Structure 1
Amino acid sequence: MKPITAFYLTHCPYCRNAKAAIEELITENQVYRTVPITWYEESENPEAVKGHTYYYVPSLFIGHEKLYEAQPGQTYEEIKKHVKASLDKALAM
């Protein structure tokens, strides 16, 4: 299993949806609780962002490999699907 690094902005609705999706996924399957996720508020942690290429938040990475980058207009269901795929990939590594 590999840890996930996640970048977000405090007032971002997509970021809130991603965090809610993680909580929902953990409720559905407790194995997701074992994936370590470190969240960085990008405007407060510019050093953590270095070396990670993305434009939108939330963005999820394993190392510098981007697993997911939200896109404008994504629904909660779309975000949850991408977050689940990211967690599954982290578990498989």
Structure 2
Amino acid sequence: MKEVLLFKLTYCPHCMMALRFQEELLAEHPEWRDIPVRVIDEAQEAALADTYDYYYVPTYYVGGEKVHEGHTEKPDVERVFRLAAED
């Protein structure tokens, strides 16, 4: 199981949708609830955000690897959690 890291902005509508999809998927897939998830607001943690290579939010990393960036649909978030659940 790998850590999921999500960079977002507080008032970004795409980020809010990504978080909503994430909540829905965790409700649908209880086996994913143990996956460690860190949500980083890049405005609040700019120093950490600067150490990662991305240009748009939301941006998902799984195990340190960027797996999704920008506009997000539910299948995108599902893919993130499937990758995180892999051994």
TM-score (norm 2): 0.90
Distance of 2:16 and 2:53 partners within structure 1: 21
What is aligned with 2:70?
70
* Residue of structure 2 equivalent to 1:55: 55
Q: What do the CA deviations read for 1:53-79 (whole angstroms, capped 9, x no partner)?
A: 1111110112431011123xx5xxxx2
> Which residue does 1:43 correspond to in 2?
43
When the two chains are superposed, the root-mean-square deviation of aligned CA atoms in Å is 1.4
Equivalent position amino acid for 1:25 in 2: L
Query: Where do 5+ consecutive residues of structure 2 fail to align?
Result: none
Number of aligned residue pairs: give it: 87
**Structure 1: stretches of 5+ with no match in the other structure:** none
Kindly indicate whether residue 80 of structure 2 is the aligned counterpart of residue 80 of structure 1: no
* Counterpart residue number, 1:30: 30
Q: Secondary structure at the match of 2:33?
A: helix
- Conserved 8 A contact 2:62-2:83: no
1:91 is matched with: 85
User: Which stretches of structure 1, 4 residues or longer, exceed 3 Å deviation after superposition?
Assistant: none
Q: Distance in 2 between matches of 1:87 and 1:17?
A: 16
Aligned residues: percent identity? Answer: 32
Instruction: Give the 3 Å change call, closer, same or farther, for CA 27–63 of structure 1 in structure 2.
Output: closer
